[in-house]
Chains A and B, each alone.
Chain A
Amino acid sequence: MGKLRWISVLMALGVGVLLARVSQASLVMALDTTELTKRADHIAVADVVSVQSAWDQAHKKIYTTIDLSVVESWKGGMQPASHITVVQPGGTVGDIAMTVFGMSHFTPGERTLVFLRGTPTAAGVVGMAQGKRPMLRDAVSGKWTVGVASNAGLERVPSKSISSPTAVESARSLDEMRGQVQQILKAQP
């Protein structure tokens, strides 16, 4: 019994050490769905039609232009099948890749939920990669799930002035996500 107690105490200490750190953030403001919704001019489920990168006129930075075809719009009034153009820094031209740590990655053919700032002809993703949610379709049920935001290459800092999550929000069904965003929009003045 004594041996077991010792081992239990030591095991508990070990597990405690493993779990003690609380993840927070560092180099981009951490935005929850409420804050993303408030900051976005357009919120839409969209298909990525094309991704093209080019040098700017000064030949100093590479920008990537993403053509999105709207499937359904939750904010901003875009019609289904209309297009939104997203422009963001980073991309590859010829043999040169400009990597901007923390930007979203778009792949032609993928469906995604995007929180965008700007106009349909020149929009940017809100909160770097936080404003682009991957979507997955269940092969059996055919239902869509909205995945968690990619934090690849970015660190997130909580801010006192805005609504910040304490952890990365979990994946949820498209219906659930749509309902949440609509509720946030209704609550907005």
Chain B
Amino acid sequence: MNLAHTGGAADRKTDRAGEGLGRRMALAAGVVVVVASLATPARAYVRYQIIKDGQDTGVYEQWKQSCIPLVVYPNDLANEMTVDEIEQATSAAAAAWSNTDIDGTYLDVQVNASFDATPSTGSDSYHDIVFKNPWCDPGDPTCQLEALAITSVWAGQTSGTIVDADIEVNAQYAVWTDLVAHPATGKQDLQNALTHEMGHLIGLDHDCYTPGSDPVQMTDNTGVLVPDCLGASADVQNDVMYTKADPGDVSKRTLKPNDIQAVLDIYPTSADPHLCLAVGQVVSLSTASSSGCHCAVDSSSGAPGAGPPALALVVALVVRARRRRPRARR
């Protein structure tokens, strides 16, 4: 009996040990299930693809130069934020997509401040960030009265080469601030918004789509159709390039793994064209290819065209031009 009793106790011990092991295994299995449900097999992002006649062309928009020199005109927002805050927000948004913050990319989005009068935007070789007040003429049918910020990108349909881009920020109907330094309701965080807009500026599209309305359901870099925005996973919704943000959001100041992967894939250090253009110079569409930058440069204002070959050669030797204040223009 004792033996039996002893044996019974040993059995119960064994049972408890087995039960403990079972619980641990169940816990581990549960963790695996949860982790698996949250994990994604590969980092996914969506590049902006040229669509012609409602069809994908397989041509993606991309800069074919190392540096993108932006010019920000802070004067028109100076009653809402200090010039330092505006420059800080703009520079931080640019750095988020650049080699200053991301190891493994050659991309260098540069910000130059100008205190000249704010110019009109357009395809003119200058990549501007402007704050507009008044925003636009309500009587003009092309006035986007409800927009708070608009990004426009000019690119070659055949090559996908981006030759110009501008960001226009509505300084009339929206109130901008640094929400981290000055928490407030009813205001927009400038750095948060600019970081997202600069994602568009470098050639990224949103990472989800709206079924029944978007003409084409995009595919991401892995070849998978992008998810419905409303039912997108937390992984997709956390991306800087997700289509919506919570009120008072500042989370888009920081690139997420999917956003970083996009920069690493599209602008990898190994493919650096070693071409930095000064403000007002652009890559010519006529000689840019999608496989690499055999770039010519057009320094004339107006729509991009074929640049002088000699000038192209000279500018191609300029590597990582120092940031400087742009000269007066127009």
Contacts and interface: CB of A to CB of B under 8 A. Distances in A.
B225 to A, nearest CB: 14
A21 interface: yes
A131 to B, nearest CB: 9
Contact of A26 (B145, B212, B244): B244
Q: Which of B38, B146, B213 has the most CB of A within 10 A?
A: B146
A88 B38 CA distance: 41
A148 to B, nearest CB: 5
B229 A151 contact: yes
Interface string A128-145: 101001101000000000
B27 interface: yes
Interface string B236-254: 0110000111110100100
Contact-residue size bin, chain B (C-beta under 8 Å from the other chain): 35 or more
B95 interface: no
A141 B148 CA distance: 41
A170 B37 CA distance: 27
Nearest to B144: A128
B247 A99 contact: no
Interface in A54-112: 55-56, 58-63, 86-90, 92, 95-102, 105, 107
B196 A149 contact: no
B153 A98 contact: yes
B33 A11 contact: yes
A157 B142 contact: no
Contacts of A62: 123
B172 to A, nearest CB: 13
Contacts of B157: 92, 95-97
Interface bin, chain A: 35 or more
Contacts of A148: 210-213
A154 B244 CA distance: 8
A17 to B, nearest CB: 6
B244 A25 contact: yes
A175 interface: no
Interface in B25-39: 25-27, 29-31, 33-34, 37-38
Interface stretch (B48-56, B84-92, B272-280, B312-320): B48-56
B244 A156 contact: yes
Contacts of A55: 303
B245 A20 contact: no
Contacts of B122: 56, 58, 60-61
Contacts of B229: 23, 151, 168
15 contacts: A2-B19, A3-B25, A7-B26, A18-B233, A21-B246, A26-B193, A59-B123, A95-B158, A96-B163, A96-B285, A100-B150, A102-B147, A118-B139, A124-B140, A155-B244
Shortest 5 CB-CB contacts between residues of A and residues of B = A60-B122, A10-B30, A3-B26, A14-B34, A124-B141
Given A87-B141, A96-B157, A124-B142, 7 more contacts: A7-B29, A10-B31, A24-B244, A26-B245, A29-B173, A55-B303, A101-B150
